Structure 1
């Protein structure tokens, strides 16, 4: 065994491998620090005293550049605190402290050298290194401390250790007493999408241009990540590890104030063994501390001491490790079931609305926080008047969802200890995005995420069995291994009952120490069926009234069009287009975005545009773009005339956009038909080739024959042009295409826009469209190599025959 490097003074730690930072004579515990991607075994855990915010976008350059001498000199001058060495011994004396470094990949990719190791390869190397360097005392207890995606490395290392046939490797898992996670993403129905998003965000935060190849190489498959997610909690429960999950309290400025890892993902949701707590830092700074008096470090010190308190010192006689008894095996089984039920509430598109809705323009929507309705809504002394209900209403395209997104973001930033839940109905999404079943699943998942101990509400609903008996240890093992993975059929009444219990129990549990208000934002009620919305409004009226009588601080904010007209018994109403602040927002937008000069005529045009908008923000956005194009083409003389010919009604404007010329009519029709009638939202790649297939097989064949490389940017521009700007690409976890606003769909279907645009198919445009889409699919299948399609069914014989004829 090669001797490990020891860092006892202000020296720079090697970038890879295990390094001993503190090595007492008689250690009773090994503490291992593991950094995340783009991190470093020293810099990740080092705070610069002189400049607490100096780890900005240039921090990654320090990680990957050869500045060892500078770092050493800085440390010698006591300008840095490397807390694994400088602080930890005060909290846990006689502990041996390591840092582990691994290839973060990026440096090699930027210089052209490709290292194809994944998380799983890193974990395998880590386990081998740990085993080799603990040979003298393989049973010494272990505590892991991991930042960000380094937590995934630790989890996989422990899983491998648990399943290892060699006793030396198993000892790593058997000796572990706990884990401290800093901003590690754990949750998600599709965990690879979660990790992909986190990785891209962090690359951006450290000033690196995101490269899809880099991200895909770093992350393993979704299947393997699901295995890790589903196996880790039962393993941790069985071995009774103590886990502390620290969550970032603040977002990063480079990410528009958003967090790298959201709270709903940065803890395991294992309330019997885990504590979740916020660190008053952003994702990069959350594991750097200025000294023993740093208030955030004191949180970490307390967490580590709580874990270590159950570890016997070297002079104490340690009791033999007990394997699971009947009782704790039964609890493990029930805990598995509760966690599985919680995860089954979530669906992949649960947060897609955040990407669907445009960010507010600078200095818009701020008036809302000063409006009388909002101030009355948050005033607890007036809750008996309105029961905590506020309903924002406005015309289609007025900007209601943008205002709600602004209000939600402000609530998440400035409401302090208030807990915020949200759901935005989405008529262009899957069924769960436009139904109240999806609403209650999302809200229940969020509230259980914020207070994991509420997960026991599943027991009261009879979803966790309490009548299982074990006769032998083999029965215990078989029951844990053959866990009930059957997803419950969530029905509306069950979900309403669970959510009501969770809200009331939340308040009971929180009021014991300090009242913590619960706030819900629910947007676009008009994008759900009216009967469901009427039932939902009645339910929330009932729940708010119960909250008032029980002295519970619970508030709900709705947003919708004026239709459906549902009357609340008590509550506040705010009509958007009647608000002076909203009118000023339109003025601010026009002044900022309408780039047609500054003459007297231009000022008149601005005023006419504002008047004609009638408070509809979507109309303003479209018309400003049209006028800017006229100006860019040198037609300043016709700007006023063009504005006067533009219809003031939003539906009439859509009709004008779609009929103003005859260019590419087939492409326009195909783009609209695919977005309207496909069974699910399509990706840009899918829509691009769907439209080309509708233009004829020769188009795709020519494209393949000429070996033209089509980028995602090319596809987006093509889709935008085909749809005349009415279809957009939404950058959620999985990019999809949709209409720029629900009012476009309303115009085409309810406003009879389809019948006017394509009168020849008026009698059955939907049936005609489905037939055309089917023919597009057949054309595509007959043109491309079926081996690359990964189809679950055999290709129809007619398609195979068609391919043979073509070849």
Structure 2
């Protein structure tokens, strides 16, 4: 074989081997492939599929452009190219799919070999198709770029047209604005002027509101100044101490008298349409004050009066006279101050009308933040003010006054009765008055609507007695055994009472005491028969029931209480208790030698621990009141009693009850000369017991016991000390102690008071870096031209005996 033939055969063999290797290699690749396709075929197929998707997107875009009329000349060529792309790619994908080995073929090796053989045979065709697709893609890119350029050109032309149109419109707007510039400026100027006027108006309103608020504050200060000057401490004290009506009693006052079959003028008719005076009269102890308080408190009173006058234009002041109280509680001045105070407190617009002279001055001082001087109301000024108040009455503005205890008025009864009678003749003013049936009142009020209380309370007394007695377990047992005798006891008590409620309460108290001692009906009836029907005899009977061993203590309590009442102020249970337990032998010494030494030597009189060691602490309020209740009942027979209501006296810091007479008639009985002499005869230790000295020691002890923690600050400390000092001065001036011994002891007590007051003044944080020295207790509020010491204080308050003792120590008193 020639060389060329041998070379040709060798070349064919090599070519066959390479072809075989390619087949075997591709078969092995197909066998191992997960999707049964060659790697280059997979990549080619993916590229072809992406080209198909691109062609479809071009078709959609061209169709949308055609529908909107935005097609360009180049779009048809692009559409043809896309068609060819889709046809060629479809053919290529079909061929590539046929070259894949199906998944799960039973003869996968043989199938892989066959597919590899096909791949070798069809390789050139596939390459031709791929090359055609590449050329089509190049053409497509060129036509797309041309199409984009055409679209940009079209959009630019359209945008220029829009801008031209916008410019034209803007020019029109600018021309219109320039044309209306003057009108616009005028409108703006007008708006600014309106805004300025509105701002000025709002500022003016704000100033008016602030001015009105400031003026209202000044007016309120002026109003409070006048009200405070009218108010006195015990203004409501008598009202508060009157017992409330027992439940279901006195309700008949709001019923028709004809329906009840009782002889009294209809209170309802008088309240709703009547005029003048409605007079509630009754004998002592019949319950007039209790009924008056019931009328004042019960809402039905206001309901009936509103038929006569609208509620907002109705003034109903109330005042309760009490001749056992301070002067304001039993005087015309106190009456007018209380009535004017209550009226102005609820209707402040009346201030300028009632006080036309005082009001402008006080208001002007308030505007300048100057505190007015406290007013001193004389009787003539009060009567003028009251007449002006009554002058405010009209058809729309009416007055109904409630006055209790007119017979306790400390003045001319005829004059005060005529005064009210004249006023009540005015068309829009009326009075409800309660009093005992004194002759002068019978004559003055004879033509007025009236009732006589003792004739109308038999049923009320029956309710009270049954409720009190039947509430006791012992009485329930007795009534269950003998109901007839129980009823006879009640009826006999009612008959013997004769309408005197006070007598009933005293007898019922005694019967309850007997029931507590397991009395039967015989003993209860004996107790009832032993009580005199007349109050005077009854009070004597109550004194006779005091155990003889307590008579001397009772006399001391009566004497001390009477001296207290001469000071014209309520007596607290604390004060009476201290004066009872503190006497000179116990405080100054246990022997006469100790007493003499205390009188002759300047020693501290009062042991500061004395009250601490006593059985009852005076600051244990409940124990104090309970013990004083017991003392007054066993030593004074119940003629003195404690009112446990809240009555706080300035600058007192303790909750105290006050000691009072059982009733006004009890005071009248004890003031009888024969009765008082009999009481004083039981006091056998008069040398060592002097009530005035007891009162002095009481005030010093109270000052010594005053706690710094309870009163702080310069002003409050000074007020507290000043309060005790006024009490001491009042005792010294009212009770004239003439014996040498008592004057010496009194001077020692004043020494002690001065020492304790100044010491207390220093403890109350009064010292300061600017004032490092201990000042005298009188230095606060003392006139600058006076020296601040105790001697000046005694001169200022007229304690002559102390001044004489200082300057004339050897003078015989």
Structure-to-structure mapping, 1:265-284, within 5 angstroms: none
Q: Does residue 697 of the first structure (1) align with residue 557 of the second (2)?
A: no
Structure-to-structure mapping, 1:210-229, within 5 angstroms: none
Structure-to-structure mapping, 1:519-538, within 5 angstroms: 519-531=400-412, 533-538=413-418
- How far has the Cα of 1:608 moved from its partner? 1.6
Contact 1:677-1:769 at 8 Å conserved across structures: no
Of 277, 294, 303, 1:389 maps to: 277
Question: Deviations for 1:689-744, whole angstroms, at most 9, x for unmatched residues?
Answer: 12112485359966523685452222222222222233122404424221222121
**Counterpart of 2:359?**
464
Task: Provide closer, same or farther for how the CA distance between residues 365 and 712 of structure 1 changes in structure 2, counting only shifts above 3 A.
Answer: same
Task: Provide closer, same or farther for how the CA distance between residues 316 and 561 of structure 1 changes in structure 2, counting only shifts above 3 A.
Answer: closer
- How far has the Cα of 1:455 moved from its partner? 0.8
- How far has the Cα of 1:583 moved from its partner? 1.1
Task: Provide closer, same or farther for how the CA distance between residues 568 and 672 of structure 1 changes in structure 2, counting only shifts above 3 A.
Answer: same
Q: Does residue 425 of the first structure (1) align with residue 321 of the second (2)?
A: yes
**Counterpart of 1:558?**
433
Structure-to-structure mapping, 1:5-84, within 5 angstroms: none
Task: Provide closer, same or farther for how the CA distance between residues 702 and 634 of structure 1 changes in structure 2, counting only shifts above 3 A.
Answer: farther
Q: Does residue 518 of the first structure (1) align with residue 360 of the second (2)?
A: no
Q: Secondary structure at the match of 1:559?
A: strand
Supply the RMSD in Å over aligned alpha carbons: 4.1
Q: Secondary structure at the match of 2:283?
A: coil
Of 584, 592, 598, 2:459 maps to: 584
**Counterpart of 1:300?**
none
- The whole-number CA distance in structure 1 between the counterparts of 2:614 and 2:271 is 68
Task: Judge which range, 564-573 or 610-619, deviates more.
Answer: 564-573
Q: Does residue 435 of the first structure (1) align with residue 331 of the second (2)?
A: yes
- How far has the Cα of 1:797 moved from its partner? 4.6
Q: Does residue 573 of the first structure (1) align with residue 481 of the second (2)?
A: no
- The whole-number CA distance in structure 2 between the counterparts of 1:325 and 1:435 is 44
**Counterpart of 1:632?**
516
Question: Deviations for 1:276-306, whole angstroms, at most 9, x for unmatched residues?
Answer: xxxxxxxxxxxxxxxxxxxxxxxxxxxxxxx
Question: Deviations for 1:455-505, whole angstroms, at most 9, x for unmatched residues?
Answer: 112443x2234799xxxxxxx99971333x223331223222222321331
Q: Does residue 611 of the first structure (1) align with residue 495 of the second (2)?
A: yes
**Counterpart of 2:181?**
none
- How far has the Cα of 1:343 moved from its partner? 2.8
- How far has the Cα of 1:422 moved from its partner? 0.3
Structure-to-structure mapping, 1:355-434, within 5 angstroms: 355-370=240-255, 372=257, 373-375=264-266, 378-379=269-270, 383=274, 387-410=275-298, 414-415=303-304, 416=306, 417=311, 418-434=314-330
- How far has the Cα of 1:317 moved from its partner? 5.9
Contact 1:696-1:779 at 8 Å conserved across structures: no
Contact 1:684-1:712 at 8 Å conserved across structures: no
Structure with greater proportional strand content: 1
Contact 1:368-1:374 at 8 Å conserved across structures: no
Contact 1:377-1:389 at 8 Å conserved across structures: no
Q: Secondary structure at the match of 1:488?
A: coil
Contact 1:654-1:744 at 8 Å conserved across structures: yes
Q: Does residue 673 of the first structure (1) align with residue 559 of the second (2)?
A: yes
- The whole-number CA distance in structure 2 between the counterparts of 1:380 and 1:324 is 43
Q: Does residue 713 of the first structure (1) align with residue 622 of the second (2)?
A: yes
**Counterpart of 2:693?**
775
- The whole-number CA distance in structure 1 between the counterparts of 2:366 and 2:507 is 66
Task: Judge which range, 697-706 or 560-569, deviates more.
Answer: 697-706
Contact 2:256-2:266 at 8 Å conserved across structures: yes
Task: Provide closer, same or farther for how the CA distance between residues 750 and 414 of structure 1 changes in structure 2, counting only shifts above 3 A.
Answer: farther
Task: Provide closer, same or farther for how the CA distance between residues 622 and 502 of structure 1 changes in structure 2, counting only shifts above 3 A.
Answer: same
Number of matched pairs? 463
- How far has the Cα of 1:361 moved from its partner? 0.6
- The whole-number CA distance in structure 2 between the counterparts of 1:803 and 1:338 is 39
Contact 2:321-2:405 at 8 Å conserved across structures: yes
Task: Provide closer, same or farther for how the CA distance between residues 752 and 388 of structure 1 changes in structure 2, counting only shifts above 3 A.
Answer: farther
**Counterpart of 2:544?**
659
Q: Secondary structure at the match of 2:440?
A: coil
Contact 2:285-2:500 at 8 Å conserved across structures: yes
Contact 1:697-1:779 at 8 Å conserved across structures: no
Contact 2:281-2:435 at 8 Å conserved across structures: yes
Contact 2:229-2:376 at 8 Å conserved across structures: no
Contact 1:342-1:455 at 8 Å conserved across structures: no
Contact 1:425-1:524 at 8 Å conserved across structures: yes
Q: Secondary structure at the match of 1:704?
A: coil
Contact 1:338-1:455 at 8 Å conserved across structures: yes
**Counterpart of 1:252?**
none
Q: Secondary structure at the match of 2:376?
A: coil
Question: Deviations for 1:525-569, whole angstroms, at most 9, x for unmatched residues?
Answer: 1212241x3322222211121x22xxx2x2211111123632226
Of 227, 239, 249, 1:354 maps to: 239
Contact 2:249-2:463 at 8 Å conserved across structures: yes
- The whole-number CA distance in structure 2 between the counterparts of 1:798 and 1:328 is 57
Contact 1:334-1:464 at 8 Å conserved across structures: no
Task: Judge which range, 448-457 or 407-416, deviates more.
Answer: 407-416
Question: Deviations for 1:654-704, whole angstroms, at most 9, x for unmatched residues?
Answer: 211122122422332233233333112122222211211248535996652
**Counterpart of 1:685?**
574
Task: Provide closer, same or farther for how the CA distance between residues 401 and 313 of structure 1 changes in structure 2, counting only shifts above 3 A.
Answer: farther
- The whole-number CA distance in structure 2 between the counterparts of 1:801 and 1:448 is 47
Query: Rg: which structure is higher?
Result: 2
Contact 2:555-2:682 at 8 Å conserved across structures: no
Contact 1:390-1:573 at 8 Å conserved across structures: yes
Contact 2:539-2:669 at 8 Å conserved across structures: yes
- The whole-number CA distance in structure 1 between the counterparts of 2:696 and 2:334 is 34
- The whole-number CA distance in structure 2 between the counterparts of 1:517 and 1:323 is 34
- The whole-number CA distance in structure 2 between the counterparts of 1:610 and 1:381 is 33
Q: Does residue 641 of the first structure (1) align with residue 526 of the second (2)?
A: yes
Task: Provide closer, same or farther for how the CA distance between residues 422 and 716 of structure 1 changes in structure 2, counting only shifts above 3 A.
Answer: same
Q: Secondary structure at the match of 1:464?
A: helix
Gaps of 5+ in 1: 1-311, 469-475
Contact 2:277-2:431 at 8 Å conserved across structures: yes
- The whole-number CA distance in structure 2 between the counterparts of 1:769 and 1:572 is 57
Contact 2:280-2:288 at 8 Å conserved across structures: yes
- How far has the Cα of 1:801 moved from its partner? 7.8
Of 733, 753, 773, 2:675 maps to: 753
Task: Judge which range, 396-405 or 536-545, deviates more.
Answer: 536-545
Question: Deviations for 1:23-67, whole angstroms, at most 9, x for unmatched residues?
Answer: xxxxxxxxxxxxxxxxxxxxxxxxxxxxxxxxxxxxxxxxxxxxx
Contact 2:351-2:359 at 8 Å conserved across structures: no
Task: Provide closer, same or farther for how the CA distance between residues 316 and 588 of structure 1 changes in structure 2, counting only shifts above 3 A.
Answer: same
Structure with greater proportional helix content: 2
Task: Provide closer, same or farther for how the CA distance between residues 367 and 664 of structure 1 changes in structure 2, counting only shifts above 3 A.
Answer: same
Gaps of 5+ in 2: 1-196, 258-263, 591-606, 649-656, 708-719, 729-745, 755-813
Contact 2:316-2:401 at 8 Å conserved across structures: yes
- The whole-number CA distance in structure 2 between the counterparts of 1:317 and 1:382 is 51
